[in-house]
Amino acid sequence: MTTSTTEQTGTIPGSPARTLSGRDSAGASDLPWIEDTGKVAPNDARALSKLFLDRLQSLEEGTRDHQYARNTLIEMNLSLVRYAASRFRNRGGDDAEDIIQVGTIGLIKAIDRFDLSRDVEFATFAVPYIVGEIKRFFRDTTWAVHVPRRLQELRVDLAKAKEQLSAELDRDPTVKELAAHLDLSEEEIIEGLVAANGYSAGSLDTPSTETDSGNDQRSCADLIGEADPGMETVENLHTLAPLLEQLDDRERRIVQMRFGQELTQSQIGAELGVSQMHVSRLLARIVKQLRAGMSVEV
């Protein structure tokens, strides 16, 4: 942004600021023009922020001066975002840039909602907004498996309770002790402990064990058994048995000859004294009936 007329100001010693003149919004002519917000010292930033916040409340939203004041406030106070984000550096992993971005959203909300009449420092007001946005980011994005917010918050309470009780008891607390400490039922504690497993997930390719030689490693996938195809056959037979009992004698005999003795339809027809076409229709009806019975969800 450039202006046609600028003049040096000595309002904030040491700050790279110039006042704006000839602006298009009434009352905005005394706003300092910040050449580089990154060069503004922290003490100067606090003083400038107070001035900009005061002028922002009298500027009409959508005007150039309002946009300039708001954007400059954001840029001058990004150090608050970096400070808040540093508290989560051990949890961010490769999401450091995302944390800064969501923290900036909290800063913007603080700027829009700040009221100078509250007689509180802007930094004191803004940091909770910034931290709140970052915590919401972790709550909504870092769980490997989505669980209800109630259980997400319970996980945090359980972690704190475990740490406190472990220090007092010199051992891991039991479910009963956790329930008494948090004034919850044991069922709720168990539900929270199970849900906590959904916070992070490991890869099946992660090495799980190491041999004595230290060379060969086995992944979790190597230790997980595979589905036995024979189990599905056993389950189908157990499901099919009561359905076969519902057939009449001739239908069961047809099934036994076709699928047990593996006779052809012509051979079954000769055995029963009926045509092959009739055997075909009977088999189609029987198989349809059995399939329908096996597909019913219990």
Q: Is 123 exposed, middle or buried (0-12, 13-18, 19+ CB in 10 A)?
A: middle
- Lowest mean pLDDT across 11-15, 113-117, 170-174, 293-297: 11-15
CATH number where 202 lies:
1.10.10.10
73 and 165 fall within a common domain:
no
> Rounded CA gap, 113 and 116, in Å?
10
Is residue 157, in this structure, part of any structural domain at all?
Answer: yes
157 and 46 fall within a common domain:
no
Beta carbons within 8 Å of 251's beta carbon, 6+ residues apart: 282, 286
29 and 134 fall within a common domain:
yes
Last residue of a domain, one of 171, 203, 224: 224
280 and 205 fall within a common domain:
no
> What pLDDT is attached to residue 208?
59
Tally of domains within the chain: 3
Average pLDDT, the chain: 77
Q: What is the pLDDT of residues 83-94, one digit of tens each?
A: 888 887 766 455
pLDDT higher than threshold 70 for residue 145 = no
31 and 87 fall within a common domain:
yes
27 and 116 fall within a common domain:
yes
Last residue of a domain, one of 84, 113, 141: 141
10 and 121 fall within a common domain:
yes
210 and 256 fall within a common domain:
no
Query: What are the distances in angstroms from CA 1 to CA 4, 54, 68, 71, 135?
Result: 10, 21, 9, 11, 35
Please answer whether residues 106 and 48 qualify as being in contact, where contact means their C-beta atoms are separated by less than 8 angstroms: no
Tokens of 150: 């109630």
- Full DSSP string of 102-146: HHHHHHHHHHHH--GGG---HHHHHHHHHHHHHHHHHHHHS-SS-
Angle at 153 between CA 152 and CA 158, to 5 degrees: 100
pLDDT higher than threshold 60 for residue 141 = yes
Q: What is the pLDDT of residues 229-269, one digit of tens each?
A: 777 777 777 888 888 888 888 888 898 898 888 889 889 88
- Residue range of the domain that includes 104: 6-141
pLDDT higher than threshold 60 for residue 21 = no
Name which residue leads in pLDDT, 146 or 16: 146
13 and 129 fall within a common domain:
yes
Is residue 64, in this structure, part of any structural domain at all?
Answer: yes
Is residue 1, in this structure, part of any structural domain at all?
Answer: no
Closest CA to 147 of 192, 108, 206: 192
12 and 132 fall within a common domain:
yes
Last residue of a domain, one of 91, 110, 141: 141
Closest CA to 48 of 36, 32, 61, 64: 32
Number of helices (H), then strands (E), belonging to the chain: the values are: 14, 5
Tokens of 187: 């069922």
Tokens of 125: 């007001």
114 and 34 fall within a common domain:
yes
> What pLDDT is attached to residue 296?
59
Closest CA to 108 of 67, 138, 64, 63: 67
Which H or E run contains 266? helix 265-272
235 and 276 fall within a common domain:
yes
Claim: this prediction has a pTM higher than 0.75: no
> Rounded CA gap, 6 and 33, in Å?
8
